[in-house]
Structure 1
Amino acid sequence: MAANCAELGEVPLGRRLLGRDVVLWRGASGSVNAFENRCAHRSFPLSHSRIDGDRLVCGYHGCTYDSDGNCVYTPSQPKVPTGMRVPVFPLLEEPPFVWIWLGPPGASGGSEPPRNPWTSDPGWSTFGSAWHVNANYMMVHEHYMDFSYAPILHRRDVPAEIDSMPAFNDIEVTETTVSYTRLLPDAQLVDWEADATGLDRDVTYKRRESGTFVSPAMHRQYWELATANGERYTTTRTHGITPETETSTHVFLQASRNYGLDDHAVTDRLTSFLAGVAERDTSILEMASAHVGYDGWRGGVEFQADAAALRARRIVGVMLAKEAGRSAIRPGLAPTSRRDSLSPRQPVKG
């Protein structure tokens, strides 16, 4: 994932993705483009340029590029040097996300991003944000798939009755995805839940926390409240997760809900709440990354609560092995070590 659609406006956006410096820009026709972020003349960063219709004008010497990356004008001489162009990367805009392909150009058609129908469904209300984490992208994935830390790291946002997260009720594994569900004990509402839903604070509610490792580029999390009459209030977080470098990551969030659809006060409350959650999550990940990095992170003793994250780690390992031309064990079969085993209370489906 390269960006949220709303990030692309009247000026070019420079971003490092998978170690490549890219400039993203939207032309007057509405199409989104991605170039290598360096002018073909003096390698000046094209993110410091201006958009002129469906062309990008370098902010140094005024070299002008069309949407195919070809230089079509140079102010300093009447004829553009033969073959002057910048590398262009394939993009796919599927609101609210912009996807980019940075692999071999001819292979871009063989991969499609995951579908997220609720982010544009009229039965859901959605808003977005984005932030940067100085940690490996798999640390971000594994952090989100754990959530046993919530009663400690996010104590004020979890009901007092829930002093520890229960074990997973199930973990479902496919060749490329991992999904989990845990049912929480009945509890009263905390402030953010009550403010957002408008439900009675003096009543206890059932909750379900679940998540899915969709791909190395995406994680989804669901927090569901259920009333006694069967109404369900669901808040989802769809995280686009893209490495910037080996030790830094972009996170693109779309937060969706199926309640209070047109209530701006609810959006404001959830925006503030999730910003605080992201800030605390980022702080923890960056402390761990600065201290031991991903190698130290994955070298520790594992808990049962890490079972889903370990499955995702294995899937990514298989993907990397296949990409490198090496054989690998199919994910979701036997655990690789005793500490990766699941207890009898945690069945694996697949």
Structure 2
Amino acid sequence: MSAPKPFPMNAWYAAAWDADIRHALFARTICGKHLVLYRRSDGGVAALEDACWHRLVPLSKGRLEGDEVVCGYHGLVYNSQGRCTHMPSQETINPAACVRSYPVVERHRFVWVWMGDPALADPELVPDLHWNHDPAWAGDGSTIHVQCDYRLVVDNLMDLTHETFVHGSSIGNRAVAEAPFDVTHGDRTATVARWMRDIDPPPFWAAQLGRPGKVDRWQIIRFEAPCTVAIDVGVALAGSGAPEGDRSQGVNGYVLNTITPETERSCHYFWAFVRNYRLQEQRLTTELREGVSRIFREDEEVLEAQQRAMDENPGRVFYNLSIDAGAMWARRLIDRMVEREAPPPARQAAE
């Protein structure tokens, strides 16, 4: 029996930014499944299996007529629920002629698709990234197509020690690697909290604060299974009360991340950086988006190199340090979701 895929299916995955889905066919692969998405005339989004019932030609190679998809090979027509409404050269439509339709929710500027059992598709389970549209916060983001296992991106986000070494010219300094941290977890979440008190700010945060002097810096990383990470970040003047809850003498941002598996070795990494200061300055929004994008390109280079090394050394086992505690908990939560979906023989073998 083949091993289960490393991603749970009963979960909401970001398929695209909401602005990416228009009245046009949009192909995306999620968890190894090919989908085609489009926005209907009523503004809602349809997500269908990207394979015609007739000969499995991708429907994304076809066209839209109104709110229906026309296969580009033989002209079969499907409505937004995946039901075939027309077959060429015959009046009777085979009742079995349909393609799978996936539940869709639009929330937090993303289009989310439920890949598993549609009966379990509870919109309340959409990961919380509300800062993306909260008027008290401003920002923007982008998408990176990374050639690596999506869990490597989660590992990267759950341990920010690497900032000292990978991002030393922007957001990293020695204090990140040396500061203690606390790890907590629940049934679907894991949190890593790190406070760095009375330190020199790294270049990025010194520019954001705009005042000289030592700072108290925080990084509070919250993972929500299977692959969403919201990171509360910022600096405040040292001794001004930020660790006790008063951040008024500082600047606060959130790094919002949700990673969608494409295959076992590739993923779509959606990210945004939002802030609660200088909200009306579009120039700052653009500058921050471009700056964070450069930082994440450094991560992309490391992660893809890591994936290549793993492929070349398939029997190699990872060694864990204390800094890996948050990533280890995230992996456990993902593994539990995968195990719950395994058929009984596989579940018994795992036990």
Q: When the two structures are superposed, what TM-score results if normalisation uses the length of structure 1?
A: 0.84
Which of the numbers 166, 171, 181 marks the counterpart of 1:169? 181
Q: Provide the residue aligned with 1:206 in structure 2.
A: 216
Distance 1:164 1:327, change over 3 A: same
Structure 2: how far apart are the matches of 1:92 and 1:268?
Answer: 27
Deviation at 1:295, TM superposition (A): 8.4
Distance in 2 separating the partners of 1:227 and 1:327: 55
Distance in 2 between residues matched to 1:251 and 1:180, nearest whole Å: 21
Q: Quick one: which of 126, 137, 144 aligns to 1:124?
A: 137
- Counterpart of 2:161 in 1: which secondary structure? coil
Task: Give the secondary-structure state (helix, strand or coil) at the position aligned to 1:157.
Answer: coil
Q: CA deviation at 1:159?
A: 5.7
Q: 5+ residue gaps in structure 2?
A: 1-12, 241-247
Correspondences of 1:117-196 after superposition (within 5 Å): 117-158=130-171, 162=174, 164-195=176-207
Aligned counterpart, 1:31 = 44
Pair 1:323 & 2:321 matched: no
Question: Structure 1 residue 71: deviation in Å?
Answer: 2.2
CA distance in 2, matches of 1:26, 1:110: 19
Any idea what SS the aligned residue of 1:35 has? strand
Q: Does 1:81 align with 2:93?
A: yes
* Contact 1:211 1:220 (C-alpha < 8 Å) held by counterparts: yes
Of residues 79-88 and 300-309 in structure 1, the stretch that sits farther from structure 2 once superposed is 79-88
Asked if structure 1 preserves the Cα contact closer than 8 Å seen for 2:108 and 2:129, the reply is: no
1:8-37 per-residue CA deviation (whole Å, 9 max, x = no partner) reads 124211111111011111111111011111
> In the alignment, which of 190, 201, 226 is matched to residue 216 of structure 1?
226
> Cα offset for 1:95?
3.4
Please give the root-mean-square deviation of Cα atoms over the aligned residues, in Å: 2.6
Question: 1:234 and 2:252 equivalent?
Answer: yes
Equivalent runs, 1:256-295 vs 2, <5 Å: 256-293=274-311
| Count of aligned residue pairs for this structure pair | 325
Q: Tell me if the contact between 1:321 and 1:327 (Cα under 8 Å) persists in the aligned partners.
A: no
Task: Compute the displacement of 1:190 (Å).
Answer: 4.4
Aligned equivalents of 2:17, 2:172: Cα separation in 1: 32
Q: Is the 8 A contact 1:55 1:67 kept in 2?
A: yes
Q: Indicate conservation of the 8 Å contact 2:191/2:326, yes or no.
A: yes
Q: Contact conserved, 1:165 with 1:184, CA < 8 A, in 2?
A: no
* Mean Cα deviation higher: 222-231 or 32-41: 222-231
> What stretches of structure 1 of length at least 5 have no aligned partner?
330-350
* TM-superposed deviation, 1:328: 12
CA distance in 1: counterparts of 2:253 and 2:156, whole angstroms: 19
Do the aligned partners of 1:130 and 1:253 also contact (CA within 8 Å) in 2?
Answer: yes
Give 1:298 shift: 7.9
Is 1:314 the counterpart of 2:332? The answer is yes
Match of 2:118 in 1: 105
Q: Deviations over 1:284-333 (max 9, x none)?
A: 1111111114986982322111111112222222332333254899xxxx
Identity of aligned residues (%): 29
Please give the alpha-carbon distance, in whole angstroms, between the structure 2 residues aligned to 1:10 and 1:192.
39
**CA distance in structure 1 between the partners assigned to 2:277 and 2:38 by the alignment:** 34
Matched residue, 2:271: 253
Paired residue type of 1:85: C
Q: Of 73, 81, 85, which residue of structure 2 is paired with 1:72?
A: 85
**SS of equivalent to 1:126:** strand
